[in-house]
């Protein structure tokens, strides 16, 4: 059994964007309830962790944005943009979410854990340097990658983002550098409007952004092909020292905000590809963090599928379909968007 860490805290439930908002505390509560039913202390490690300091958050964000978000603390309700609302504990929850990723990377570096899943909110991948947006206050994964570069001296970090929505904030954070390789699948054209296939990076970062914009309706087989034929080969050429995953369960078949058709087996398969790549390329150093997902069933079943693959144990409720997972290795359903992305990326990688 692998040493899989789960980062959870009730403070993440206290961030409340308001009645009817899709990014509700229930998204995490259904996962926490499932873990509690499992008596999962015997399966997973639950580290203690601290919130990220202002200095750490400012590795990726302007001091002005940090002050703007901090000013919401203690206020019952606030707006950072039309979609991004806060409550009294939102700032503290956002700092703790970043802290979860920092702690996870530190423990991976020290060999204390094999991999981990940060079940946090608010999510992060839309947050820009000086702007909170798209339900996101701070960009958890981008701050963590910058911390790993600064404190651990890492030169090659892979970020894979399978959320329904393009991670504009993450892409923009590293668009000019080759020290972070950003690979994203997302529905397009869709919020936030970025992530076209020809967005491949700039200056030293040219070729280190890999976008696969999808039309909607894609499911397990199409995502398996993208991971097998594009992301995994590029990762092997890049040789990352750490792999981070922005995990959105809003590509689940039935999510109210999207039209993808990924099942729990698909989430398990993508996790398996990432875990095996991490074991092959960087000593297993893999940390997954939660982004979107608005079907409570999809959140619960997707999270259990991811966790089962991370720890290597049969978990009740993780209906993975092992035979179906194996069949995805040789999946051969057409995907024109993958073919287009391959054509673009062959300009940069020997695929």
User: Could you read off the pLDDT tens digit of each residue along the chain, which spans 351 residues?
Assistant: 799 999 999 999 999 999 999 999 999 999 999 999 987 788 999 999 999 999 999 999 999 999 999 999 999 999 999 999 999 999 999 999 999 999 999 999 999 999 999 999 999 999 999 999 999 999 999 999 999 999 999 999 999 999 999 999 999 999 999 999 999 999 999 999 999 999 999 999 999 999 999 999 999 999 999 999 999 999 999 999 999 999 999 999 999 999 999 999 999 999 999 999 999 999 999 999 999 999 999 999 999 999 999 998 877 655 555 556 666 666 667 789 999 999 999 999 999
CATH of 4-345, one of 3.40.800.20, 3.30.470.20, 3.40.50.2300, 3.40.190.10: 3.40.800.20
**How many Å apart are CA 50 and CA 224, to the nearest integer?**
36
**How many Å apart are CA 219 and CA 43, to the nearest integer?**
30
- Selected catalytic residue, list 15, 61, 125, 126: 126
Tokens of 192: 């936030």
Tokens of 129: 């340097």
Buried/exposed code over 187-201 (b: 16+ C-beta within 10 A; e: otherwise)? bbebbbebbebebbb
Angle between helices 90-110 and 140-152 (to 10 degrees): 40
Is residue 166 part of the annotated active site? The answer reads no
pTM for the model stands at 0.97
């Amino acid at each position: 059994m692998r040493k899989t860490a789960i980062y959870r805290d009730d403070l993440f439930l206290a961030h409340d964007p308001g009645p009817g908002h899709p990014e509700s505390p229930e998204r995490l509560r259904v996962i926490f309830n499932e873990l509690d039913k499992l008596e999962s202390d015997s399966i997973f490690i639950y580290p203690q962790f601290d919130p990220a300091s202002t200095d750490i958050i400012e590795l990726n964000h302007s001091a002005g944005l940090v002050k703007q978000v901090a000013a919401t603390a203690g206020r019952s309700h606030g707006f950072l943009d039309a979609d991004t609302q806060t409550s009294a504990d939102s700032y503290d929850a956002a700092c703790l979410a970043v802290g979860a990723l920092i702690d996870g990377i530190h423990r991976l570096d020290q060999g204390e854990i094999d991999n981990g899943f940060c079940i946090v909110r608010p999510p992060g991948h839309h947050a820009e340097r000086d702007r909170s947006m798209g339900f996101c206050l701070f960009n958890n994964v981008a701050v963590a990658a910058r911390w790993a570069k600064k404190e651990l001296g890492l030169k090659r970090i892979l970020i894979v983002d399978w959320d329904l929505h393009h991670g504009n904030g993450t892409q923009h954070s590293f668009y000019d550098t080759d020290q972070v390789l950003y690979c994203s699948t997302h529905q397009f054209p869709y919020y936030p409007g970025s992530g076209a296939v020809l967005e491949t990076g700039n200056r030293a970062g040219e070729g280190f952004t890999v976008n696969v914009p999808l039309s909607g309706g894609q499911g397990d087989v199409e995502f398996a092909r993208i991971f097998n034929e594009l992301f995994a080969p590029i990762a092997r050429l890049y040789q990352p020292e750490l792999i981070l995953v922005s995990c959105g369960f809003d590509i689940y078949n039935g999510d109210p905000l999207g039209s993808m058709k990924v099942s729990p087996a698909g989430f398990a398969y993508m996790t398996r590809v990432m875990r095996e790549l991490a074991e092959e390329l960087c000593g297993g150093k893999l940390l997954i963090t939660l982004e979107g997902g608005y079907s409570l069933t999809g959140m619960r079943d997707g999270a259990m599928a991811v966790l089962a693959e991370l720890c290597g144990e049969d978990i009740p409720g993780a209906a993975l379909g092992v035979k179906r997972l194996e069949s995805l290795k040789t999946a051969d359903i057409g995907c024109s968007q993958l073919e287009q992305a391959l054509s673009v990326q062959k300009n940069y990688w020997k695929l």
